[in-house]
Amino acid sequence: AQSVTQPDIHITVSEGASLELRCNYSYGATPYLFWYVQSPGQGLQLLLKYFSGDTLVQGIKGFEAEFKRSQSSFNLRKPSVHWSDAAEYFCAAVSINNDMRFGAGTRLTVKP
């Protein structure tokens, strides 16, 4: 079955430190890949997406993600985390027949 896995349930980083959130997918063919962010009490907002081409994609709020086909991964990164980045982050994938799956989410805490 197709699935998306986020191995880290909760990550804590200090403000100004770098961040990497992990995401792995299991699909028959390479799906379209996404990262969403959910702030407390809010819906999800799209951060970035990968369809094809350049494996390093840039998103909003200074985030980027790298697609690695050999590792079936799509990890999210940010060079310097701000306190306002504290939120829950979801990786998602969708196949060409519109089968969309979300990971279980990674909650990010930012220490002052």
User: Closer to another protein at the Cβ: 73 or 102?
Assistant: 102
Q: Does 100 bind another protein (CB under 8 A)?
A: yes
In the complex, the smallest distance separating the C-beta of residue 15 from another protein, rounded to whole angstroms, is 26
Computed on alpha carbons and rounded to an integer, the radius of gyration of the chain in Å comes to: 13
Binding-site string for another protein from residue 10 to residue 49, where x marks contact by CB under 8 A and - marks none: ----------------------x-x-x----xxxxxx--x
Q: Does 103 bind another protein (CB under 8 A)?
A: yes
CB 93 within 8 A of CB 73: no
User: Closer to another protein at the Cβ: 15 or 49?
Assistant: 49
Q: Does 92 bind another protein (CB under 8 A)?
A: yes
Site for another protein in 51-80 (CB under 8 A): none
User: Closer to another protein at the Cβ: 9 or 29?
Assistant: 9
In the complex, the smallest distance separating the C-beta of residue 33 from another protein, rounded to whole angstroms, is 8
Smallest CA-to-CA distance from 13 within 68, 105, 87, 94 is with 87
